[in-house]
Structures are given as structure tokens and as C-alpha cells.
Amino acid sequence: MTTRPDFAAAVGQTPLLRLRFASEATGCEILARAEFMNPGGSVKDRTALGLLLDAEQRGALRPGGTIVEGTAGNTGIGLALLGASRGYRTIIVMPATQSREKIDALRVTGAEVRLVPAVPYKDPGHYAHQARALAAQMNAADPGSAWFADQFDNTANRDWHEATTGPQIWEETGGAVDGFVCACGTGGTLAGVGRALKARKGSVTIALADPAGSALASYVNTGELVASGNSISEGIGSSRITANFDGAPIDLAWSIPDDESVPLTHRLLHEEGWCVGGSSGVNVAGAIRLARSLGPGHTIVTVLCDAGTRYQAKLFNPAFLRAKDLPVPQWLDEAFPA
């Protein structure tokens, strides 16, 4: 009998999928880790577990303590579910602009959710700053009662992906991986996987797929943080260099517009049955670009980050898509007639 004893033991047990239409269009093998199959529904379960294990090992979170984090949603969901399984309370500070589905998912976990206005990182009202201040306030009143997870600048995030996600990709491709590409929010996945793969095969190409409105692709290509455009994607992109992103071994970077990524998200669902979120569309767009850059015959790996049901009111809403001047596939129009 094979069993998993708890939530933590189920994290990371995700399959590597072949993406048929992307592979056939490029002549490459385009593969994707199905991170939406994690128990909390996203790749951020991995991040949450790495951060929490590190905190427990360092004694930064006492039994029965409170996890505090600022998050766009998925890391908070992972932390809250892990917390529930290990006896911790969780408080999440979150931008009010995030999808209703993610906000509701957090509340269902039992986490206390504090919604704040979406402001730039330089503003002291930014959700990450507010979460840090809250944990400090709690610890001032009761030392050791709260732990601020700090997913953006706590490099236990990157280190966990380097120790787990990267080696999994290497082993499951038999070392045949030629390129890895994904978007960045914290930078932990791309930096950690990139470091792990480069250590095993120096010629592997690591690429950033950056949503429009983020400054990271500009930084990789020019050394300057310059952003243009905007995106309906949530949880990815940044206007600053986080500690996890800093020094990531990135060879190529592209800014991906929504009118390229969103149709790929729709194709993943309608043609292959994978209901995933907008960041997955950005990642697949990046994988196709990387495949075309390297040429036919290569193996490219990316990540399907979370489920599309967390963004249904946006990604699969014809009225919303039209309001953003994004294409609406006929099957979606037929499913939700005006």
C-alpha cells in the first residue's frame, strides 16, 4: 500500500505533460509540469512548503503560531492549507484587485483575509509591506507568535525549487531537457529550476516569459526596469528585482502580450482538456518562442501554474474579454451567450 501521510507529502507529486498542439506547431517536445494538480491547486504549494519547512527548521514559527503573508492569492492558499494541517493560524494580506475566486478560496481555507488597495511596491501600503508590519506588530505584543513568510525575498523559496522541482524535471526527461521557461512573480521557480538544470547541463537555455506590464524582461535584456502595456494575468510580473530573482541564470526573455497568451489558455482547455490560468498561457507562449529560437528537435519544459477556475470571471467571460479587446473563441461565445 502506498499512501501520503499528510498535505505536505502530497505537494510536488505532479505529472509532466506533453502539450500536443505546441509540440506539433514547433517540431519540438514541449512539456509542462501540471502544477495545478498540487493539493492546493497551484505551483505555489511548493513555495509554501519550502518556506514553511525552513521556518520550522530555524525555529522561526512556534507550535500553534500564526503564519502571516502578503500574496496575490496562490501562495496564501498553500500556506493556509499547510497551516491547517500543522496547527497554525494564517493571516493573508491581499490586493483587492485579485480574482473573486481566489479571495473566496482563501476564505474557505479558514485563513483571515485582509484586502488592501493595489499600490506599487514603493508605497508603504503595498500588501507585502503591510503583511511584514502586521507580523512585527504581533511579535512586539507576543514575541515569537507570528512568522512573516516573505515569499518574494526569502530565498528558501528559490532553494526549495532548486532542490526539488529542478531535479524532478531533470530526472523525468532523462536529462534530455534543452530549455526551461516560465514567468516570474517572486522569481523562485525560474531561479531555482534554472540553477538546478544549469548545474547538470551548462548548455540548457533558461528563459523568462514576462507578461506585458512587467519590467523583468526589460531588465534581463537591457539592465533597466522599464515596463509597458498591461495584462489581465495575476500573480506574475514585477517592477523590482526580488532576492529570489536576483542572479537567476536567465539566457533569454520576452514580453508576452495578452492577445498572444490568452488564446493559448483557451486552446489548452478546448483542444487538450487542461483548464489552467492566465500565467499558464504566458508560459506556453514562452515555450513556443523558445522552441522556435532553438529550432526543431529540442525538448522544452514549462509550468502550468494553476487552475482556470480561479479566473473564470475573467478568462472565460466573453464580456470581460471583449472589454479588454481580447479575442473570444466561438465555443466560449456559445457556452455563455449574451
Please give the positions annotated as active site: 44
Closest CA to 183 of 228, 238, 222: 238
The neighbouring-strand residues paired with 114 are 93
What residue has cell string 526569502?
A: 154
- Strand-pairing partners, residue 66, are 89, 146
Q: How far is 159 from 51, CA to CA, in rounded Å?
A: 9
Which three cell numbers mark 20? 500536443
Sorted by sequence, the CB contacts under 8 Å of residue 68 that are 6+ apart come out as: 90, 91, 92, 93, 131, 134, 135, 138, 146, 147, 148, 149
Residue 117 grid coordinates: 488597495
Name the phi and psi angles at 231, rounded to 5. Answer: -145, 150
Whole-angstrom CA distances from 288 to 25, 181, 251 are 8, 10, 16
Number of helices (H) and strands (E), helices first, in the chain? 15, 10
Kindly state the helix (H) or strand (E) to which residue 57 belongs, with its residue range. helix 44-58
Taking the C-alpha atoms of residue 289 and residue 304, their distance in angstroms, rounded to an integer, is 16
